[in-house]
Structure 1
């Protein structure tokens, strides 16, 4: 049974998500449709890339991942289908795949060319669904597109490292459901540049000198419970995806606030890490 995942910025209020699912089932009744997320911020490809990059590998090889974010076709935003890590991705060539495939070379890339045979003003519904169902039936990428050698690259989202190798400037690339702020600085980059040196991480007016391994690692459980600083404690951690994350312990954006609201951090804001000898 084919697995087709959906990641979009459609939300759940409008009919778009339901229409796409219905179109898939009309083409392929046996399809197993899985929602990854429909709450991506509108047109925010870095947020979508983070979600997909950290979820697709949990699915079986051969899964098909349909990405409906910034998907309108234009002369500068063509549609592509990619085989990567034995998975298939269908999306616009808007740079999102360069973020997902930053550490893995694609096996195949085609520029989708079936648009002339499909009338549409909603390409995710009409074009992406047909491509996904074609692949699910065992069809090859070459049938629905022409091979291209590369995908559009986005380099402006990469962290900046200064010439003296003692500073990293990163950006907020994702804010999770708890309001925790995920940066684009990976553990690997931090350790390669830092080489064990002391550091100060500045995010707006808040500074951190320690990065914990988990949320609970920041709590001193050897102290009596009434003496611990728990709820509301600010911390920086390496999250499950091994990126630096700025968080509030047991935060709730709807009540006590979150790292995003309390520190005034939003998508694409900068963070600065300075290392000392």
Structure 2
């Protein structure tokens, strides 16, 4: 029996998470379920995509990822199950799958509710997750059907002497995670020095960690996934710098003669 992870925007104050887990245990009493988080901002697909995308590949191949975020989806109720990079995902058709997979899911099928439901995560998605965790085929759940609701990822703008990216997530500490990768910086920079421009600040180096600066000072690092992050040592960078989701960040390189 495979592992199920559970991510949602249900919060921790109410019974909603417990209700979903109770349904899973009714269907499979010894099914292992691991919580990723239930503190996704309500209906915030970008937040869910970032958190799930940062961690799903760390789980064993064959893991089923149950996503209860904005769980009614498009068109008054629409749900999907998919396979991507050896993992399975069950989620509403709300744009999450195209963003998470960058449109590259290997297989996608439609799920349907057998009767009206007040909780699609409990009544539709949890059942599908258990079915897949028990080793059944994706195509036993429903017919092939691509996601109907499409969202597109922000793309980097790469030029000879400049990279333009954006903040894609603000974490619990106020650190700003961007979509600028170390790979992109090395490919455009070719070893040249560079400056990083954000808000009214300019940084000239990548630090090993935020504590390499003095308390209250801003700095830039690469996170464990190789993406540029901006933070303030012992401070909340988003609030102090006035930067938020989708704020622009530039890396500039000197022109070579």
TM-score normalised by the chain length of structure 2:
0.89
Query: Which residue of the partner structure matches residue 151 of structure 2?
Result: 154
Aligned-CA RMSD value: 2.2
Distance 1:196 1:64 in 2: 41
1:265 aligns with 2:249: no
| 1:98–1:151 contact (8 Å) kept in structure 2 | no
Q: Give, in whole Å, the separation in 1 of the partners of 2:184 and 2:94.
A: 25
Secondary structure at the counterpart of residue 139 of structure 1: coil
TM-aligned CA deviation for residue 6 of structure 1: 0.8
- Deviation by residue 1:238-270 (Cα, 9 ceiling, x = unmatched): 111111000123x2xxxxx31112111222222
Count of paired positions: 255
Pick one of 204, 216, 231 that aligns with 1:209.
Answer: 204
Match for residue 241 of structure 1?
225
Tell me if structure 1 keeps the 8 A contact 2:67–2:89: yes
**Contact 1:166–1:193, Cα closer than 8 Å, also in 2:** yes
Aligned partner of residue 143 in structure 2, secondary structure: strand
Task: Determine the C-alpha separation between the residues in 2 that align with 1:239 and 1:73.
Answer: 31
- Note closer, same or farther for the CA distance 1:88–1:200 as it changes in structure 2 (3 Å cut): same
Q: Is the 8 A contact 1:118 1:126 kept in 2?
A: no
Deviation at 1:153, TM superposition (A): 4.8
CA distance in 2, matches of 1:197, 1:275: 7
**5+ residue gaps, structure 2:** none
Shift in Å at residue 151 of structure 1? 7.3
Q: Secondary structure at the match of 1:133?
A: helix
Q: Distance in 1 between the 2:30 and 2:217 partners?
A: 48
Is the partner of 1:146 in helix, strand or coil?
coil
Answer yes or no: is the 8 Å Cα contact 2:194–2:253 preserved in 1.
Answer: yes
Partner Cα distance (1:40, 1:233) in 2: 28
Structure 1's unaligned 5+ residue stretches are 220-228, 252-256
1:136 aligned to which of 133, 141, 152: 133
Name 1:110's counterpart in structure 2.
Answer: 109
Q: Deviations over 1:106-163 (max 9, x none)?
A: 3321122x32x132122111100111111122221112121135776533522233xx
Give the 5 Å matches for 1:74-223.
74-75=74-75, 78-102=78-102, 105-112=104-111, 114-115=112-113, 117-148=114-145, 153-161=150-158, 164-215=159-210, 219=212
CA distance in 2, matches of 1:74, 1:267: 23
CA distance in structure 2 between the aligned counterparts of 1:199 and 1:134, rounded to whole angstroms: 51
